[in-house]
């Protein structure tokens, strides 16, 4: 399993890709594989602000519902409306078209608390 360079990762299996102060957030391919077929995502409302660690979305597969935790504090500026047309994109392209929200980060230095692709890969190996 490989993870995009430049993305940062949480222990709860979210990813962040930062462009200026705008962060795209999704779940990792590891999380998507563990969940199995995603069939629903409860999205937040645009304009809502979250602290890092807050639950901002719920991803549901056939078998389970899991909370998604905000990797860095900020305001939701966009949610991925395309997901509803076919949640399978969350399994097919979790690091790309399967993104969940875009956030205007209030403190990009929070990113330093997260893991690089290499560190996340290492972290996953400890979970087995």
- The interface mask with other proteins, positions 7-46, x = CB under 8 A, is -----------------------------xx-xx-x----
Using the contact rule CB under 8 A, the part of the chain among 4-12, 20-28, 59-67, 73-81 near other proteins is 59-67
Q: Which of 58/108 has CB closer to other proteins?
A: 58
The yes or no reply on residue 92 touching other proteins (CB under 8 A) is: no
Q: Are strands 74-79 and 49-50 parallel, antiparallel or unpaired?
A: antiparallel
Cβ(47)–Cβ(104) below 8 Å: no
| Alpha-carbon span 52 to 56, nearest angstrom | 10
Tell me which of 1, 19, 20, 63 binds other proteins, using CB under 8 A: 63
Shortest Å distance, C-beta 47 to other proteins: 18
For residue 112, give both structure tokens: 């330093």
How far apart, in Å, are the Cα atoms of 120 and each of 5, 33, 124?
Answer: 11, 16, 6
How far apart, in Å, are the Cα atoms of 86 and each of 37, 40, 56, 96?
Answer: 11, 9, 20, 14
Using the contact rule CB under 8 A, the part of the chain among 14-22, 60-68, 99-107, 113-121 near other proteins is 60-68
7 closest CA partner among 111, 122, 124 = 111
The yes or no reply on residue 62 touching other proteins (CB under 8 A) is: yes
Binding site for other proteins (CB under 8 A): 36-37, 39-40, 42, 58, 60-63, 65, 88, 91
């Amino acid at each position: 399993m490989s993870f995009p360079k430049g993305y940062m990762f949480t222990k709860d299996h979210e990813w962040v890709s930062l462009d200026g102060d705008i962060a795209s957030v999704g779940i990792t391919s590891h999380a998507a594989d563990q969940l199995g077929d995603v069939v629903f995502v409860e999205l937040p409302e645009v304009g809502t602000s979250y602290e890092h660690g807050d639950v901002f979305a719920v991803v549901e597969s056939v078998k389970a519902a899991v909370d998604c935790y905000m990797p860095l504090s900020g305001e939701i500026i966009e949610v991925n409306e395309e997901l509803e047309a076919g949640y399978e994109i969350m399994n097919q392209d979790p690091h790309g078209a399967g993104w969940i929200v875009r956030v205007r980060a209030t403190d990009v230095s929070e990113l330093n608390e997260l893991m690089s692709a290499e560190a996340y890969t290492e972290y996953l190996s400890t979970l087995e």
